[in-house]
Amino acid sequence: MPTPSVVDRLTDTSKYTGTHKQRFDDQGKGKGLDGREDRVNFDGNTQSESRSNLKKSQELRKSQELGKSNDSLSKKPVVKPKDDFGVKPKKIVLFEYNNRADAGQETILVKGKFPDFKRLIEHVAKFTPTGKPKIILDAQMRQVQDLEELQDGGHYLVITAYDNSKRDDAKLPQKF
């Protein structure tokens, strides 16, 4: 049984739909992009900007070759990044004075838990020695007196009024 030619095999309507005539010449050699240029993607889906169909990708390729941008193709659904405008609570690290090995107490300033500066001082008193009022100092050794003065990611030193008057840099925590 002689083997049929390439064209005969490709024109067999029981196996193929006839699109080969656009893609191949009479000798059975492929036409390359010229044979595929005007083909429609019959995948059952409608043309959509969010799906990449063959026709749209060819339009995009042509517009890129010409140096134009096709606005209808560039309109993809965009997910914008979430911005934290005043919603993200401040996270601070509190260090205890006179404890060189103190790694710091990480504290998140949530409005419900710390509505005012007094509540923060009460929280600080839980993990520092008792009996004396506490003062919070920033990295420049200035006293902090309001929640608004605290910076997100800042390191703060918790010290008593007596220790603050006789402050010694040798007693500061190493990580502060």
d(CA 74, CA 163): 64
30 & 100 share domain:
no
Let me know if residue 33 belongs to a domain: yes
How many domains is the chain partitioned into structurally?
Answer: 2
Q: Is a pLDDT exceeding 80 seen at residue 18?
A: no
Let me know if residue 79 belongs to a domain: no
- State the residue range of the domain holding 149: 90-171
d(CA 142, CA 139): 7
Let me know if residue 83 belongs to a domain: no
Let me know if residue 135 belongs to a domain: yes
Q: What is the pLDDT, as a whole number, of residue 63?
A: 67
CATH number of the structural domain spanning residue 131: 3.10.20.230
* pLDDT tens digits along 84-100: 555 678 888 988 887 77
Let me know if residue 138 belongs to a domain: yes
The residue that leads in pLDDT, 36 or 78, is: 78
Provide the whole-model pTM: 0.48
Q: Which of 153, 149, 155, 99 is nearest to 127 (CA)?
A: 99
Last residue of one domain, picked from the residues 16, 48, 74:
74
* pLDDT tens digits along 116-171: 888 888 888 887 776 666 888 888 888 888 888 888 888 988 888 877 778 777 77
For 4, the token pair is 């049929």
The residue that leads in pLDDT, 151 or 36, is: 151
Residue 154 exposed, middle or buried by CB count within 10 Å (0-12, 13-18, 19+): middle
Let me know if residue 63 belongs to a domain: yes
Residue 7, SS3 per DSSP: helix
60 & 101 share domain:
no
